[in-house]
């Protein structure tokens, strides 16, 4: 088992990574909790079909009383009505302050479950069991919780850290291919902004990862959690240090917004956004042509889209103006400053569109 510590003072917690670890969840619970604490496992209908029974049996074998609550898979479940129904359920069950709330699933389940855990009775223990690559390498580290409201993404939420995160890399074998590849975009991003050796490793081993070789999955997921937790530990509340994690995301968010969140999966948009950001970085003298080629080649070899369609570029302007990370009239654009390093480069939206049109 690989264990990574997310260092946040009193709220320091471990991420435990191992193939097959879901079956040992009972032991992990016994190490930390009393069997007097009831457990709520929240999951979605797809994940429930494959994994819920195993998790329930493992918990019950260890002596825990456990309830489950199954939501409909997909982003549309990320709303307060769904959260409210789970509160109803907890109250009907008379769930005490010690109730342990477990999120079994991808980013959607994680965001909702951690939000519920952070608010029910002013906060109860939360355990994350991420089952998608995106959730394992990205959304399960950092403590972001929340739901969408009135068409605004993640507008209601908190920062709340889990007691621990348990990652079972075997779950990735049932993940639809397109979901897996989309998760790989964030993996590549981590290497591109933080770690040149990891990026080079991906260039040599991406086929092994796509073939779900166990050692490569453990290394990839583990290294990404380590990289992200280093960034998060550096600056838990202040967004400055974290901001480089938004590499590729300015264009990605605009692209997702423009296409009504239907055409591209998040990771696919990030892949296109990273290549666009790399090309802009080259155009303004921040990185070399080779840095751009390596990112584009790796993403394309993995099977991710990298081309920013020309007709989108002019339409991007409105979305860039709406960018949440704007300071005054400038966007905090993340540029590549060589493989494994990134920096914040403030730029006016018009100038960015001009640069994107020329790439
Ligand atoms: P993400 O983690 O990418 O933000 P979601 O939480 O929406 O996304 O999960 C993506 C989809 O994959 C959902 O339909 C979910 O039910 C499904 N899913 C999650 N984990 C697995 C898994 N291990 N095997 C199969 N399907 C899964
Ligand atoms: Zn992202």
Which atom of ligand 1 is the closest one to the Cα of 108? Answer: 6
Pick 241 or 339 by higher pLDDT: 339
Cα(344) to centroid(ligand 1), Å? 32
Closest ligand (CA of 177): 1
In this prediction, residue 325 carries a pLDDT of 67
What DSSP character marks residue 159? B
* CA 299 – CA 282 distance, rounded (Å): 18
Report the DSSP beta bridge partners of residue 130.
105
* CA 347 – CA 330 distance, rounded (Å): 5
Query: Residues 141-179: pLDDT tens digits?
Result: 889 999 999 988 899 999 999 999 999 999 999 999 999
In this prediction, residue 238 carries a pLDDT of 56
Determine the distance from the C-alpha atom of residue 92 to the mean position of all C-alpha atoms in its chain, rounded to a whole number. Answer: 32
In this prediction, residue 24 carries a pLDDT of 94
Whole-number percent of the chain with pLDDT over 90: 84
pLDDT band at 260, cuts 50/70/90?
confident
Among 79, 103, 105, 268, say which to mutate for ligand 1: greatest number of ligand atoms within 8 Å of CB.
105
DSSP notation for 111-151: HHHHHHHHHGGG---EEEEE-SHHIIIIITSS-B--EEETT
What structural domains does the chain harbor? Answer: 2-175 (3.40.50.1970), 178-358 (1.20.1090.10)
In this prediction, residue 302 carries a pLDDT of 98
Three-state secondary structure string covering 324-339: CCEECCEEEEEEECCC
pLDDT exceeds 70 at position 236: no
Pick 201 or 321 by higher pLDDT: 201
Count CB neighbours of 208 within 10 A: 15
What is the mean predicted confidence (pLDDT) over 127-135?
98
CA distances from 289 to 75, 106, 188, 281 (A): 38, 36, 18, 10
pLDDT exceeds 90 at position 234: no
In this prediction, residue 237 carries a pLDDT of 62
pLDDT exceeds 70 at position 333: yes
Query: Residues 284-325: pLDDT tens digits?
Result: 999 999 999 999 999 999 999 999 998 888 888 888 887 766
Among 179, 181, 256, say which to mutate for ligand 1: greatest number of ligand atoms within 8 Å of CB.
179
Closest ligand (CA of 171): 1
Quick one: which H or E segment has residue 286? none
The pair of structure tokens assigned to 52 is 């819920």
What is the mean predicted confidence (pLDDT) over 59-85?
97
What is the mean predicted confidence (pLDDT) over 182-194?
97
Count CB neighbours of 63 within 10 A: 12
Listed residue (283, 285, 296, 266) closest to 357, CA to CA: 283
What is the mean predicted confidence (pLDDT) over 264-285?
97
């Amino acid at each position: 088992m690989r264990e990574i510590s997310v260092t946040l003072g009193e709220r320091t917690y471990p991420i435990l990574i191992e193939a097959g670890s879901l079956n040992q969840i009972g032991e992990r619970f016994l190490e930390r909790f009393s069997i007097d604490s009831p457990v709520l496992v929240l999951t979605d209908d797809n994940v429930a079909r494959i994994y819920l029974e195993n998790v329930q049996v493992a918990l019950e074998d260890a002596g825990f009383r456990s309830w489950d609550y199954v939501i409909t898979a997909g982003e549309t479940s990320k709303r307060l009505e769904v959260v409210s129904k789970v509160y109803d359920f907890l109250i009907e069950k008379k769930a005490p302050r010690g109730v342990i709330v477990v999120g079994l699933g991808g980013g959607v389940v994680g965001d909702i479950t951690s939000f519920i855990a952070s608010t029910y009775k002013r906060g109860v223990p939360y355990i994350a069991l991420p089952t998608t690559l995106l959730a394992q390498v990205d959304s399960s580290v950092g403590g972001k919780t929340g739901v969408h409201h009135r068409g605004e993404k993640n507008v209601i939420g908190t920062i709340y850290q889990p007691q621990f995160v348990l990652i079972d890399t075997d779950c990735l074998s049932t993940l639809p291919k397109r979901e897996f590849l989309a998760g790989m975009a964030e993996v590549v991003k981590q290497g591109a902004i933080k770690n040149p050796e990891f990026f080079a490793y991906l260039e040599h081993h991406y086929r092994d990862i796509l073939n779900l070789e166990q050692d490569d999955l453990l290394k990839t997921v583990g290294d990404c959690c380590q990289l992200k937790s280093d960034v998060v530990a550096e600056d838990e509340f202040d967004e400055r240090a974290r901001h480089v994690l938004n590499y590729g995301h300015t264009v990605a968010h605009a692209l997702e917004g423009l296409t009504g969140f239907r055409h591209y999966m998040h990771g696919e948009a990030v892949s296109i956004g990273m290549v666009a950001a790399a090309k802009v970085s080259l155009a303004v003298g921040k990185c070399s042509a080779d840095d751009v080629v390596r990112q584009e080649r790796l993403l394309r070899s993995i099977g991710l889209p990298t081309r920013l369609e020309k007709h989108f570029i002019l339409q991007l302007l409105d979305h860039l103006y709406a960018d949440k990370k704007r300071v005054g009239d400038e966007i905090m654009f993340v540029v590549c400053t060589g493989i494994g390093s990134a920096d914040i480069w403030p730029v006016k939206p018009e100038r960015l569109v001009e640069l994107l049109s020329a790439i």
